[in-house]
Structure 1
Amino acid sequence: MDDNAMSNLHLALADSVLSSVAKKESTKEIWDALTKLYKVRSLHNKIFLKRRLYTLRISESTSMTYHINNLNTLFSQLSALDHNIAVNERAEILFQSLPDSCNQLIINLTNNVLTNYLVFDEVAVAILEEESKRKNKEDRSASS
């Protein structure tokens, strides 16, 4: 099984990267070498990712699914650098990244909360549902 995994890794890597792991004899050795090469835990990386996260804004033409995936990627990258963002803060970051056209949705979601915080996944689901409703309404208008 290890040979199969090693073959898949070799196929997935660019030639310039493959030369760095060609002599490794197990998937663990390949993974460790790749981690050493590409997983930089520097202050620079953490600051860069936090700046991207806190300044991220969605444009009106970007899909919410893409935007939420982008946010989740940034959260994961920061977690890999030992900087975890609390669940309620993730929801707040999602809200602040939305366009002004979502202000009413934000008001509705925050008014209906019985606790002092929101959960990112629940907010994301509500936003995706709202986007779906808007698209369905636009599709019906366009077909009429």
Structure 2
Amino acid sequence: YAPDDQFHSTSAALEFAVQSLKVKNIVVMGHGRCGGIRAALDSTAAPLSPGDFIGKWMSLIAPAAETVSSSTFMTAAERQTALERISIRYSIANLRTFPCVSILEGKGRLSLHGAWFDISTGELWVMNKDTGDFERPEIT
């Protein structure tokens, strides 16, 4: 959340969705084999592309990437999945910094959800709101 004199199209869209359209649910969905996450884990990788925005966006998860990348008890694929899921939690936490989101969530008029799609298997995993863990939903 950055209320300054810059243009914030994503923030404006979020504000419009929750205040004007009265959206009741926001889903933050990540996916397996994410190139941005892979680059965040590889400190030797060249930037994904030239420009002003990708590096700044990836810096949001840099502390988590450093922690996950130094883990010796996970395989590279497990580290990738772990950071993909952490980034979803971070995005939800960032959404809660917007007053229009936190106020409506506090009043029970807005729910935030996390989900992760495993591209290789086609499985959808949903974040448990109580634990923050990702689980496959039960289909009834």
Report the structure, 1 or 2, having the larger helix content.
1
Q: Which has the larger radius of gyration?
A: 1
TM-score by length of 1: 0.32
Report the structure, 1 or 2, having the larger strand content.
2
Which structure has more relative contact order (CA 8 Å, sep 6+)? It is 2
TM-score by length of 2: 0.33
